[in-house]
Structure 1
Amino acid sequence: MKKFTLIFLSLISFCFKAQVAEISSPDGKLKLNVFSEEGKASYTVTFQGKTMLGKSPLGLITNESDFSENLKFISSKKDNISKKYTNEKIKKSEVEYKANVLTVSFINADQFNIGIEFQVSNNNVAFRYDIPPMKDRFSIVVQSEVTGYRFPPQTTTFLSPMMKPMTGFARTAPSYESGYKADAELGAKSDYGYVFPGLFHIGNDGWILLSETGVNSLYCASHLNTTAEKKLYQVAYPDMAENNGFGSSGAALSLPGKTPWRTITIGDSLKPIVETTIPFDVVDPLYKPSQKYQFGRSTWSWILWQDASMNYDDQIKFIDLAAALKYELILIDALWDKNIGKERMKELVQYARSKNVGVMLWYNSNGAANDAPMGPRNKMNTSVERKKEMKWLKETGVKGLKVDFFGGDKQETMRLYEDILSDANDFGLTIIFHGATLPRGWEVMYPNYAGSEAVLASEMLYFSEDVRKQEAFFATLHPFIRNTVGSMEFGGTFLNKFLTQSNKEKNRRSTTDGFQLATAVLFQNPIQMFAVMPNNLVDTPKFQLDFMKEIPTLWDETVFIDGYPGKYSAVARRHQDKWYVVGINAGKSVKKLKLKLPMAAGKNMELINDDKSGTTFTKTISISKKGEYEIEIQPNGGFVLKN
């Protein structure tokens, strides 16, 4: 008996020493524990008493010292944070953020310190490393992280593979434009890892979304990689082959320095995943806006009329289209420098201004990173040329730029993103990035930032029959994964039945008009490049055009209604006092839903939906006093409810 008691006391003593700190969310449902065992740091996450992440490694390795092993726990301290902020560019314009804060400090074998700051809010964990000066060392290179996420064995994944560097069009990859596999096997290998964000289904216990935020010029972006242990995923830094092999794969950091935030969103349903604001909660603006920036809707010819439309006369037609739709903007795409020229561009900008339409212009980001040939080239990649060009753009009256072809996550490229944004703010220009990485808190960090592609977007619907067939499948994923962590410049909502300039013969659309209208709300970006064409003014039903004329692009509230990624999705968004409820169905059969809409209880709403033949119609319906409404969504179809 005495021997058993000693063993029991020893186990208690060991557990006490192993677990060095813990913290819970304000509502107490989410709990994080930090451990120090055999010289290594790790953490666990439970939600409502269920293990969501088992013991997962913490630490990083620098060129000066190793913070992944031989770590000794020093101390921990707790605090809390509460703040309110507004941002019109994200899914919710007014946000109140409350979190409990835990900072844990370790010392390594070289007697250098490292801190790990955790912020735990309801349904979210954010953490980052804090590295103080190392005696006389005030600069280091962070070479890698051991940061990991160890999932329960029943987990399935929703991930998009990282593209092989220097492949794809003109060697512009990786550009976050791969597809997804739904409910895939845990630990399935990908040659180059998986992009952030990644969604994980923990069976009956809930869901986890992994991402990162707060990446700027001071660090590289990262992604997920598998390990020899199928349950464990780790943070990985860029491949050396990116950017044609130029630039480090790690991060040069001035000390004291902090890494970007790793974010974990957890829920027993998908509601916290869709509605999370954690990518924006833990970051702050890096500079003040030089002016009040304009966001809104835009026409663009290239998506269906392609390169041949980059001429003066066709752009006049799309300026007129924007004016007819009362859109704020037109995007004039690649090759305008050659086919229109700067002098005639001044005339176009003046004509657009007379129609109350602002002009955005396309630019190639490229210097030496890839082989994308379209112009304007070599205007955005160096400070001297960029400022010259932006001075001309401001004098001409251009409102913003769409900058394309980045292809990489190295710190060198993160610096280019930030330099373009910062310089553009000096000249009052909004910026959209295309052929680009995931935005990581940039809506807050950069006031003139207006969205990124970083998705298998609308242009591939034009080029690929396979992507057209899977359009509904991919669209049902985006509210839960890519678009929930950042603005997504998709460039869709086609009203042409055939994705061609003639609207006939080839590239037949696989989805209904109801589906296309629903995605105008389902996909969120402060500037939406809609694929409405001049012919749609005469060949599209009036109620559909009326919808496209009134649709906002800025939202005050976003609410998850129903859905399962890859199968169907229903989301509600509010602009001022007007609600839009939309849903789409990727299944092969009709999807019947009982929508719970407390925001519309007892009210009449306009319904846009598809009948069994795929014809889209509209009518007025009444929501019950309980806030419930039953609806059917056709295969590859969609609906809109609006008050």
Structure 2
Amino acid sequence: MRIMPAIRGGLMMKGISLSLVAIGFACCATSGYAQAGIPAVRLASPDGRLAITIGTRDFSTPLAARSQLYYSVELAGEPLVAHSPIQLRLRGAPPIGGGLAILDTMRRAVDEHSELAYGKTRYLHDFCNEYQILLQETDAPHRTIRLTARAYDDAVAFRLHLPRQPQLKEIAIEAEHTLFDLRPGAAYVLPFQNFRHHYENNYSVQRTEAIDPATLIALPLLVHLDSGPWIAISEADLEDYAGMYLAASEAKPGAFISRLAPLPADTSLVARLATPHDLPWRVFMVADHPGHMIESNVIMNLSDRSVIEKTDWIRPGKVAWPWWSARTVEGRDFQGGMNTATMKHYIDFASAAELEYLLIDADWYGRHNDPGEDITTSIAEIDLPEILSYANEKGVDIILWVMWANVRDQMELAFPLYERWGVKGVKVDYMNRDDQEMVNFYERVVALAARYHLTVDFHGAYKPTGLRRKYPNLLTREGVLGLEYSKWSDRCTPEHEVILPYTRMLAGPMDFTPGAFNVGTRATFRHSVVPPMAQGTRAHQLAMYVVYESPLQMLVDHPTSYLGQPGLEFLKVVPTVWDETHFISGAVGDYIVVARRKGVEWYVGAMTDWTARDLSIPLAFLGDGRYLAQLYSDSSDGERDPTTVAVRMEEVTREDSLDVWLAPGGGCAIRIVPTWTP
């Protein structure tokens, strides 16, 4: 989010399109003389419960040896994050963050409504209080910075802005030392040992004071504070900067310190910047139950508005994906593989199942891991013009897989060519980094793709940070240990799958790639590349299409697995974008129930770990009138045979509840339609 037009004493702010109400100024020195010291300023949310405080104080730590800028967070008067210093360490210059005094401040209330191209809700309501403070160092080199804080009812956030000035034109940042001094609690840690990875690992639950400082913790980090609420830390509006991780503080057990991904060519630096420059928002979602964070749009609210004026060409939807099933073909007179006949076979399935896309994955243009391959020419076995023509006749669009290094070198040639061919999207893979250079690569890709009317799906990707609001052609991204791991490991468990909505999914859409119909119980599951199998029940897989947010959803299994099977009718109709999203019930790592609305229809997804559960799902989210609910749930034999799906219909109102039984690793997917004419 870039801050632009001036509205007070040299303090620059971004315009708000609807309602912007100034609620107070604490202007101190528009004549240019700084007021000594920074009195603590408390900024409360509109409902008054959540607050962030900004000030300066002396910290007896090596990172903050003098009066230092800090923040703290509280809920209903109880501290969540204690005084935590903020500092930037620079190459060839003193650190930024200490010895500051006020030049100017301003408060405002933000109340803005906007419509999204798509998402988990149709509309955004940006409703918060904001505080901006312009600061200057009291000693040479007298640099100025601006800190902006926001308080929402469900989150607080802050960010730094580095204005253009003679003593701060171009800077090299060695580290950002932001402390996160949380109250003790249990953390859901996504651990890594270095910065070269693809955000694919299992979560572990650890006490905050017992986490190894050598562990890199990927965001979002979810923590259940002792005797208190839940808090999730992430970032928003990450542009031209390095992705942030956390590490346990060695100096202060239980606290965390920011760690930024270093530049690949100079690992002693995390960013090279030219001012003016906005650093990303540091975001704290807060809730009495982590499920309510699933409803939050704070990451989107803190991100730039769309720069794509017309978005009607952007088509969310469902995708036939031959890769997961190893391009299996059954009952035909040709061999499945990366060839024209196989792709046409999957196009036939996509058309019959009313899917929007076929994804032609790795190897269509050559070796998938060779940066020297040409992404503008297909291999001999793939007649791309024939495939595209056939898909067009069947009403199916094509997405092409491409390796990121090939895209880096050839996208100016390839993307306009893809548009001329009739290709509708690209899946860019293998980045496995989130340093400043790679963050900039992501934006270059989606910007150029938008010019040529291509949607984008990033794999081997880092977490979402709101870029999809600025470029809504960015439909989804991976950045998750997804169903593909079932092909070579037992790591993609039902427990893992009911941790993800409360952790990774808080950042934004995730391309988990659900839809396996070849499934096994805890006793019968065996990982296998061919034929692949998933853990849990078919109804568990169906529920993922409601629980998991992704405007582009894969159907991973081969056509014969789906055709004629209960559940395919649900997959034909379930949307991938929504007008409303509601968390119903659940517990992290145990189970989850989510309801989403598209138009007048509601969909409910329920998933459990390896524990069988009886659930009663209240339907208070429905409107008035009577509805017909169609349930796809585990059969009474589901504990023994997870491929069985029970289908039943019930007439319901908002006063009713639906009782469902979930088998171990089970689930339930529900479609609810009005019996009255809308």
Match in the other structure for 1:478:
500
Whole-angstrom CA distance in 1 between matches of 2:266 and 2:323: 32
SS at match of 1:182: strand
Q: Pick which of 395-404 and 532-541 moved more.
A: 532-541
Whole-angstrom CA distance in 2 between matches of 1:502 and 1:160: 23
User: Aligned match of 1:576 in 574, 599, 606?
Assistant: 599
Distance of aligned partners of 1:34 and 1:538 in 2 relative to their CA distance in 1, 3 Å threshold:
closer
Q: Would you say the 8 A contact 1:21–1:76 is kept in 2?
A: no
Does 2:630 match 1:606?
Answer: yes
Whole-angstrom CA distance in 1 between matches of 2:381 and 2:307: 30
Match in the other structure for 1:372:
none
Q: Would you say the 8 A contact 1:421–1:448 is kept in 2?
A: yes
Match in the other structure for 2:340:
312
Match in the other structure for 2:75:
47
User: Aligned match of 2:214 in 191, 196, 199?
Assistant: 191
More helix by share: 1
Please list the CA deviations of residues 42-101 of structure 1 after superposition, one character each: whole Å capped at 9, or x if unmatched. 222111222211112223223333123333455532112221112243211111111101
Matched ranges for 1:104-183 at <5 A: 104-108=133-137, 109-110=139-140, 111-153=142-184, 155-165=185-195, 173-182=196-205
Match in the other structure for 2:477:
452
Deviation at 1:200, TM superposition (A): 0.7
Deviation at 1:440, TM superposition (A): 0.9
Matched ranges for 1:8-407 at <5 A: 19-38=39-58, 39-63=67-91, 64-108=93-137, 109-110=139-140, 111-153=142-184, 155-165=185-195, 173-182=196-205, 184-189=207-212, 191-216=214-239, 218-228=240-250, 229-239=252-262, 243=264, 245=265, 249-285=269-305, 287-289=307-309, 292-305=313-326, 309-338=337-366, 340-341=379-380, 344-366=383-405, 378=406, 380-382=407-409, 385-407=410-432
Match in the other structure for 1:522:
547
Deviation at 1:256, TM superposition (A): 2.0
User: Aligned match of 2:666 in 620, 637, 641?
Assistant: 637
Whole-angstrom CA distance in 2 between matches of 1:504 and 1:164: 28
Whole-angstrom CA distance in 2 between matches of 1:189 and 1:78: 40
Whole-angstrom CA distance in 2 between matches of 1:180 and 1:503: 23
TM-score normalised according to structure 2 size: 0.83
Does 2:556 match 1:551?
Answer: no
Q: Would you say the 8 A contact 2:461–2:477 is kept in 1?
A: yes
Deviation at 1:156, TM superposition (A): 0.6
TM-score normalised according to structure 1 size: 0.87
Q: Would you say the 8 A contact 1:152–1:231 is kept in 2?
A: yes
Partner amino acid, structure 2, of 1:620: M
Distance of aligned partners of 1:297 and 1:33 in 2 relative to their CA distance in 1, 3 Å threshold:
same
Distance of aligned partners of 1:576 and 1:187 in 2 relative to their CA distance in 1, 3 Å threshold:
farther
Please list the CA deviations of residues 504-545 of structure 1 after superposition, one character each: whole Å capped at 9, or x if unmatched. 99754320111010011111111112213211244623xx11
Please list the CA deviations of residues 187-246 of structure 1 after superposition, one character each: whole Å capped at 9, or x if unmatched. 412634111111010133111011001112x21221112111222112211145xx5x46
Distance of aligned partners of 1:134 and 1:333 in 2 relative to their CA distance in 1, 3 Å threshold:
same
Q: How many residues were matched structurally? A: 596
SS at match of 1:521: helix
Query: RMSD in angstroms over aligned alpha carbons?
Result: 2.6
SS at match of 1:440: coil
Partner amino acid, structure 2, of 1:319: I
Deviation at 1:447, TM superposition (A): 2.5
What runs of 5+ residues in structure 1 fail to find an aligned partner?
Answer: 1-15, 166-172, 367-377
Deviation at 1:183, TM superposition (A): 5.4
Distance of aligned partners of 1:416 and 1:135 in 2 relative to their CA distance in 1, 3 Å threshold:
same
Q: Pick which of 521-530 and 280-289 moved more.
A: 280-289
What runs of 5+ residues in structure 2 fail to find an aligned partner?
Answer: 1-35, 59-66, 329-335, 367-377, 639-643, 673-678
Whole-angstrom CA distance in 2 between matches of 1:255 and 1:68: 16
Identity rate, percent: 25
User: Aligned match of 2:517 in 487, 492, 495?
Assistant: 495
